[in-house]
Structure 1
Amino acid sequence: MRTFRSAAELLAAVGTDLGTSGARPVNQARIDAFADATGDRQWIHVDAERAAAGPFGTTVAHGFLTLSLLPMLLREVVEVRAAHALNYGLDRVRFPAPLPAGSRVRASATLLSADPADGGVQTVLRATVQAAGAAKPCCVADLVTRYLF
């Protein structure tokens, strides 16, 4: 885990690979719970029988479920000890490959930028989520965060 205790440490770390989380399962129960929470019950996510005959041979996680795993996964990779951390948004999100139910995923992170902003630092962190054994990542997202120290 990489820990930052000041704005200066963040500014100095631009371009740094921050590491990779441990693997976490994405099982059908988690996919179903996400479908229930969001109302997105498309068959490719929740109908195992139909999905078995579909393009991926199984159900797959929602892209937004994959994205929503980032806070949990990134907590293992990076910690910023700031007075306040504000989720400022996303610059870019892509889902290059499906995430099959039953997969285990890891997230890696790179600090793309850090700039002084309104009494703190605004960072852009590129997070890449990879399923075990997959050739391509299932999610790549640039997270924008403001830290006030």
Structure 2
Amino acid sequence: MTLDHASAILTSEWHLIDQPMVDQFADAIDDHQFIHTDPVRAKAETSFGGCIVHGFYLLALLTRLSQQALPTTSPGTVEINYGFDKVRFLNPVPVSSHVRGHFTLLDSNAKGTATLKRYSVELEIHGTSRPALVAEWLVMLDYPQPLKGNP
């Protein structure tokens, strides 16, 4: 096992999630549940005080946040989302909140010409002590083989 930034907690910049972003995501996945897209109704009918962000939007946002926090890979390396373990949505994120990601490399293992990295991820909501989500994220780094001769 080789760890190139083990034990270090790498943190992204703060990211604002506003209502137009949530509405676009709702359109993309066809999930227009009022708790995400109707601020008046969400305020009147829920304990959230307004709209909250889709959990899957938060999960998808980790890609952008990881690009800010994690070291860049070498040219020719392809990063592939390999999956998640232990995903938990712990705290609703009100629309118009700022969030940021904290990433810690747990392990890194060679798989042939590729490397599988496992990260502990926590998504922090500005001004709160309880994270929005925690997960273990698996990322496969594929090191393509050079072409040998003509096909």
Whether TM exceeds 0.5 here: the answer is: yes
Aligned-residue offset at 1:113: 1.2
Q: TM-score, normalised by structure 2?
A: 0.86
| Contact 1:74 1:107 (C-alpha < 8 Å) held by counterparts | yes
The 5 A counterparts of 1:6-17 are 11-13=2-4, 15-17=6-8
Match of 1:3 in 2: none
Aligned residues, how many? Answer: 140
Aligned-residue offset at 1:129: 0.8
The 5 A counterparts of 1:50-129 are 50-53=41-44, 54-78=46-70, 79-81=72-74, 83-129=77-123
Query: Which contiguous aligned blocks of 4+ residues in structure 1 show a shift greater than 3 angstroms?
Result: none
- Rounded Cα–Cα distance in structure 1 between residues aligned with 2:22 and 2:78: 31
- Rounded Cα–Cα distance in structure 2 between residues aligned with 1:12 and 1:52: 46
Choose which of 14, 17, 39 in structure 2 pairs with 1:26: 17
| Contact 1:14 1:113 (C-alpha < 8 Å) held by counterparts | no
Pick the structure with greater CA Rg: 2
* 1:92-141: CA deviation from partner (whole Å, max 9, x where unpaired): 21110001000011101000111111222111112211110012111212
Aligned-residue offset at 1:51: 0.9
Choose which of 131, 138, 142 in structure 2 pairs with 1:148: 142
- Rounded Cα–Cα distance in structure 1 between residues aligned with 2:124 and 2:40: 25
Structure 2: runs of 5 or more not aligned = 144-151
Aligned-residue offset at 1:13: 3.4
Structural RMSD (CA): 1.6
Partner amino acid, structure 2, of 1:74: S
Aligned-residue offset at 1:88: 1.2
Structure 1: runs of 5 or more not aligned = 1-7
More strand as a share of residues: 1
Q: TM-score, normalised by structure 1?
A: 0.87
Match of 2:31 in 1: 40
Aligned-residue offset at 1:58: 1.0
- Rounded Cα–Cα distance in structure 2 between residues aligned with 1:142 and 1:74: 13
* 1:59-91: CA deviation from partner (whole Å, max 9, x where unpaired): 000000011111111111112226222221112
Aligned-residue offset at 1:14: 6.4
